[in-house]
Amino acid sequence: MGKEECKTMLDALNKVTACYRHLVIALGSTSDSQNLREELKRTRKKAQELAVANRTKLTALLKDKTISKEDRSEYERLWVLFSSSMELLEVDMKRSLELGQNFPLKVPTRHLIQTGMTGSTTTVAARAISVQNIKYEADSNIDTVDLGDLQAEISQVSQMMEEMEMKVQVAPWAVEAKQEAGAELKSSMSVGNSSVGVISICEEEPKEHESGGSRDAGFASICAVVIFFVIVTVAVVLGYLVINMS
Amino acid sequence: MKIRTARPDRGQHSRPRMHCLNKLEAIVVEMQDPKSGVRGVEQKLNITIIPHVISGKDIIAWIANKMKTPPEEALAFGTMLVSYGYIYPLHNHKKLVMCNDTSLYRFQTPYFWPTQKWVAEDVDYAIYLAKRNIRKKGVLEPYEQAHYNHLHEWLNYKWDFIVMQATEQYKAGKERKKPDRVVFDCQERAYWIVNRPPRRTHSAMDCGPDRLIDPNADEKITFDQYRRMNMFYQQAIMRSKVKSSVSLGVLVKYITTYKNHDPFLAPCLPSNPWQTDTDTYWTLNMRRVDIPTKMRVERWSFGLFELLTDLRGRDDFKIFLKKEFSGENLAFWEAAEELKWGTASSISTKAESIFKTFLAPGAPRWINIDGRTMGLTVKGLEHPHRYVLEAAQTHVFMLMKKSPVYKDIQKKALNPAPHNFSAAQLEQNAQNQNPGIHPIILWKQEEEEKVKAAAASAPVDIKAVMSKIDRRNRDIQ
């Protein structure tokens, strides 16, 4: 049905927006590199495609005059989701243009900021584009060449959003959200491993990050301990049987 | 949410007082130079090692060296860098200051730098708070929780989007390696402490309302503007001016008298209500308080203007006038004030009239000032300027100050002890703020006073008085 398709496409757009934001935050810092610029370009392309697909679908649904009232409010809600995603994307694209212009990679006097981030963002980009491994194949002056494309894309996106506002008459402030406050806590249950390890709420940075990170390590170690005890119990039982038999 | 229309945008979007940001950015980029910049070390957190950590004294030494300034100025500059958000402290993250010791700092990523164009939006803040909610399993700090509830109410139509985006960003963040995750969390937290500061955190991003004109844009001055500027300056040259020795002397005198009464320069007793959220200072200085405070009484001794503008002072002065002061002194004082504050062209005419009315021997309202002051004043009146009657005015005012009524008031005045609140008490004060007396009650009190004053100054009914005296005589007889 149209609604389900829309929702999956919106989820995909949402995911790409979130990943794009992570990538833009890494611009200009020590984890910036040619690869990052290429990842940005590819994520943008994906975002554009998704945006156009979403837009056509949603405008088609909303222009339909024969839908019921609940359906219409549901489509309006989806429309608000779509337009908010696009606003975030537009702002991030404009900022990435500015940052890309301020921090060209080849100029030796323009140093990258030592923020402490040194890892690569490959995994984030892979999540965005939904591929397993990214192959980097761009030329070495992608940072300057890309900026021209980026400007064109930004103007495209702005135009698209203006058209959207003109064509579809949706009052965003009239939409009621389905999630209540604190809804993100419930959805996150499947995300991090809810922890058997210690979570300290103290404000000092090292401890809280340690506990956040050690949740994965903690879970693995608890599994290992459990398996160990199972094996020991089995061994004890077998030994007892052997002694009994002999 | 931005509503796009075809009409031109006449809104105010330029944030003021931010043209220093370009210069700050240039300096921060210079600090990154691997050869001549600030040296970074590694921070060890149990098993993870995070590079690029700098200590406060290294930064300050580098700034002092680069800008050739003494260390105190370098310290102030460093604090500015921290309060704008270019560098963030790793421990004690709510206090945005630079300390000249081994405390650790890190540079902020350029996306989170302060910019003139991009405002930290509420939607982004809501997404950040939702992410933090997930990470801290629902336990947010009180000010964060207050913001969260507020945003949930006002951004309700976008709340689905905010929740979805927060969970997605959280999941995407987990894809990075452990040290990068730690650094990213620190960066985001530092960014939002600068842009939505908790109570008593002073961040430099507290700027005023947005302006229409972009302060970074070049200003083109037209021919007509130049022509008007020329006319203005030519007229200004032709005006007669007060000698700077006179006006500067008055300025110095003003500063020395009012130095201790300025709440920015001297601590306000008992405590500044804007800082500690207690209104004791205001209640002690109300109009109808029984005993005025010492600082207030001291202010009355500075000048008649101070006395008359303070309502309590004016009430006391009326009582004093009934006993000792005489009418012509007050009239002279008022005329001298008029001379001081009036237009430059009327100075000579006013000075003439004052001389004829008050100072000339045999004048109709001759004031009684000592011979030396009289001599000085008369001489000055030959070439009158604004402050020619200053000496005479001061003498007249001294008469009141030295009077025993005033000395009595001074002795009885209160001197409240300064408050010393701890951080927990300050929080409580902020929550229990008192709304104060309703203005209608104050207005009613003033109306009652006016009625009483009108009744007291009504012309005495002679017949009633005579009949009362007759009755008394009859009773005595």
Instruction: Give pLDDT tens digits for A203-216.
Output: 334 333 333 334 44
Which pair of structure tokens corresponds to residue B158? Answer: 């976008």
Q: How far is A169 from A72, CA to CA, in rounded Å?
A: 12
Confidence at residue B6, expressed as pLDDT on a 0 to 100 scale: 65
Contact: A14, B165; criterion CB under 8 Å: yes
Confidence at residue B281, expressed as pLDDT on a 0 to 100 scale: 86
Q: 3-state class of A162 per DSSP?
A: helix
Residue of A nearest to B135 (CA): A212
Query: Hey, which residues does B57 pair with through a beta bridge?
Result: none
Q: How far is B198 from A177, CA to CA, in rounded Å?
A: 28
Q: Chain B contacts of A131, Cβ < 8 Å?
A: none
| B200 and B426 Cβ atoms separated by less than 8 Å | yes
A206 touches chain B (CB under 8 A): yes
Contact: B165, A209; criterion CB under 8 Å: no
**Least confident residue range of A9-18, A25-34, A81-90, A217-226:** A217-226
Q: Chain B contacts of A91, Cβ < 8 Å?
A: 118
- Give the number of other CB atoms < 10 A from CB of residue B147: 20
User: Which residues are CB-contacts of A156 (< 8 A; sequence separation ≥ 6)?
Assistant: A48
Mean predicted lDDT score pLDDT of chain B: 83
**Is the whole-model pTM more than 0.90?**
no
Q: Of the ranges B9-18, B293-302, B456-465, B468-477, which is most confident?
A: B293-302
**Least confident residue range of A141-145, B84-88, B309-313:** A141-145
Which pair of structure tokens corresponds to residue A68? Answer: 């019921």
Q: Is the pLDDT of residue B463 over 60?
A: yes
Q: 3-state class of B415 per DSSP?
A: coil
Contact: B183, A124; criterion CB under 8 Å: no
What letter represents residue A47's amino acid?
Answer: A
User: Which residues are CB-contacts of B204 (< 8 A; sequence separation ≥ 6)?
Assistant: B80, B83, B84, B85, B114, B194
Q: In what order do the strands lie in the sheet with B41-45?
A: B41-45, B48-55, B104-107, B87-89
* Residues of A (116-175) whose Cβ lies below 8 Å from B: 116-119, 121, 123-124, 126-128, 161-162, 165, 172-175
Q: Is the pLDDT of residue A16 over 50?
A: yes
Bridging pattern class, strands B41-45 and B104-107: unpaired
0.90 surpassed by complex ipTM: no
Confidence at residue B251, expressed as pLDDT on a 0 to 100 scale: 93
Confidence at residue B396, expressed as pLDDT on a 0 to 100 scale: 73
Q: How far is A241 from B281, CA to CA, in rounded Å?
A: 87
For B150-175, give the DSSP string: HHHHHTGGGHHHHHHHHHHHHHHHTT
- Give the number of other CB atoms < 10 A from CB of residue B315: 13
Q: How far is B393 from B375, CA to CA, in rounded Å?
A: 14
Q: Is the pLDDT of residue A230 over 80?
A: yes
What letter represents residue A67's amino acid?
Answer: I
Contact: B134, A191; criterion CB under 8 Å: yes
Q: Is the pLDDT of residue B442 over 50?
A: yes
Greater model confidence, B55 or A34: B55
Q: Is the pLDDT of residue A48 over 70?
A: yes
| B104 and B53 Cβ atoms separated by less than 8 Å | yes
Q: How far is B361 from B371, CA to CA, in rounded Å?
A: 12
Q: How far is B201 from B195, CA to CA, in rounded Å?
A: 11
User: Which residues are CB-contacts of B106 (< 8 A; sequence separation ≥ 6)?
Assistant: A115, A116, B52, B53, B54, B87, B88, B90, B183, B186
Least Cα distance to B321 among B389, B399, B390 occurs for B399
**pLDDT per residue over A59-85, tens digit each?**
888 877 777 888 888 888 888 889 899
Residue B346 binned pLDDT confidence (cut-offs 50, 70, 90): confident
Give me the residue label for tokens 């554009």.
A48
Read off the DSSP letter of residue B109. Answer: P
Q: What percentage of chain B carries pLDDT values higher than 90?
A: 20
For residue B128, give the H/E element and its range: helix B122-135
Which pair of structure tokens corresponds to residue A229? Answer: 């005890």
